[in-house]
Amino acid sequence: MAHPTTSAPDSTYVRKGFGLKAEVQDTLASDYTGHLVDLLRARDYTLQVGDTTIRLAREFGFCYGVERAVDYAYQTRRKFPEKRIFLAGEIIHNPHVNAKLKEMGVVFLAASGKGFDYSPVRAEDVVILPAFGVTIQDFQTLRELGCVVVDTTCGSVLNVWKRVEAYARDGYTSLIHGKYYHEETRATASQVEKYPGGQYLVVRDMAEAELVMDYIEAKAGRQTPRPALAREAFLEQFAKAASDGFDPDRHLDRVGVANQTTMLARESLAIGAAVGEAMARAYGESHRAEHFRTFDTICSATQDRQDAVVELLREPLDLMVVVGGYNSSNTISLAALCAEQVPTYHIADPDEIDAQANAVRYRRIGPHHHEDAMSPWLPLTGALRVGITAGASTPNNKIGQAVARVFALRGIDPATIG
């Protein structure tokens, strides 16, 4: 059974909510809105008290897809107050939002192999699909169980699925820029299975894409900048990131590039361009025209937030604070952009800032992304300009709380800001 993307096959599949938005709006507002964020917006995204200035990126926080997913989860709880409600993984990658759902009695299903463990689910239960979507296999399992399925898969993710499905239909291997273990990438990759022989390969970054390009060119007998991997070494390198039966000697002849929607946009575009150029060098322009496809499938919200950070970084800033889950890819991408220009602190939650101790716990930006701490963190006197942004799964109240803690650390009572 194929995963539906536009219309509901029956009453147990819900993709457009339950018409209860008005009923849950007040609860959503109390859980996730923030006074200081509203104030920043009203004052041209700037709050200045004495010699402390905070600048907020003009695009930040909850995107439409995240708002919709959280809204539908709240509607589901309102619609089925007595039913058991399960969630496949996390609704989004934000610890605060997921904690709220747990408080509401939503049970999070654990990952099992390449999918989730649905053994606790019965036909009379409800299962919410996250904004990332789930694999075709997961969806088929749920439909066979007969439970109510509430599908919050983001529309931008569905657009990538359609692209990957078209690649598989036309005999192209999907080369996906993403993290092979990420829920969204797993769901996207599974779309190739709608067609017999469909194949995919996931590359994490340009360095892994270069391994693919070297293999393509070496197979064509061209000299490569680096020694190309032998077939067995290539398969070992991508063992967890390739479809079953993937053979680089056969399945890199026709390639279509797509991406996880929350990756760094400029890197996705660069990978697409570079792979196309490698195919042209290997086999000529006519081969590229017939054997290569690429499309920018970064979602507009991800792009907007990255563009807004680039714009903000043109200003003089002493540091950036990036608020969002440590497993949030779009937040990690924002932090990586910021770290190129200014000292950057990626915090999962405002609680990571200890205003009294002038300390911060944060996630270092880099290949290993380990957590670290700094104390003392900020100068207590003198001019200070702090930039702030947040990933698309971060609610406004958490952004506002981070702003409040920076002010408090500098001896400013946030309650007096108005």
| CATH top-level class of 156-294 | alpha beta
pLDDT of residue 3: 54
95-103 CB contacts, 8 Å cutoff, 24+ apart = 95/325, 95/348, 95/349, 96/349, 96/395, 96/398, 97/32, 97/70, 97/393, 97/395, 100/31, 101/73
CATH number of 33-62+301-416: 3.40.1010.20
- The one catalytic residue in 59, 184, 193, 352 is 184
Q: Choose which CATH entry (3.30.750.24, 3.30.70.260, 3.40.50.720, 3.40.50.11270) describes domain 65-153.
A: 3.40.50.11270
pLDDT of residue 43: 97
**Domain residues of the chain, as ranges?**
33-62+301-416, 65-153, 156-294
pLDDT of residue 366: 78
pLDDT in tens, the chain (418 residues): 445 544 445 789 999 999 999 999 999 999 998 999 999 999 999 999 999 999 999 999 999 999 999 999 999 999 999 999 999 999 999 989 999 999 999 999 988 777 899 999 999 999 999 999 999 999 999 999 999 999 999 999 999 999 999 999 999 999 999 999 999 999 999 999 999 999 999 999 999 999 999 999 999 999 988 899 999 999 999 999 999 999 999 999 999 999 999 998 999 999 999 999 999 999 999 999 999 999 888 888 899 999 999 999 999 999 999 999 999 999 999 999 999 999 999 999 999 999 999 999 999 987 767 899 999 999 999 999 999 999 999 999 999 999 999 999 999 999 999 8
* pTM to 2 decimal places: 0.90
Same fold flag, 33-62+301-416 and 156-294: yes
- SS3 of the chain: CCCCCCCCCCCCEECCCCCCHHHHHHHHHHHHCCHHHHHHHHCCCEEEECCEEEEECCCCCCCHHHHHHHHHHHHHHHHCCCCCEEEECCCCCCHHHHHHHHHCCCEEECEECCEECCCCCCCCCEEEECCCCCCHHHHHHHHHHCCEEEECCCHHHHHHHHHHHHHHHCCCEEEEECCCCCHHHHHHHHHHHHCCCCCEEEECCHHHHHHHHHHHHHHCCCCCCCCCCCHHHHHHHCCCCECCCCCHHHHCCCEEEEECCCCCHHHHHHHHHHHHHHHHHHHCHHHHHHHEEECCCCCHHHHHHHHHHHHHCCCCCCEEEEECCCCCHHHHHHHHHHHCCCCEEEECCHHHEECCCCEEEEECCCCCCCEEEECCCCCCCCCEEEEEEECCCCCHHHHHHHHHHHHHHCCCCHHHCC
184 is catalytic: yes
pLDDT of residue 11: 83
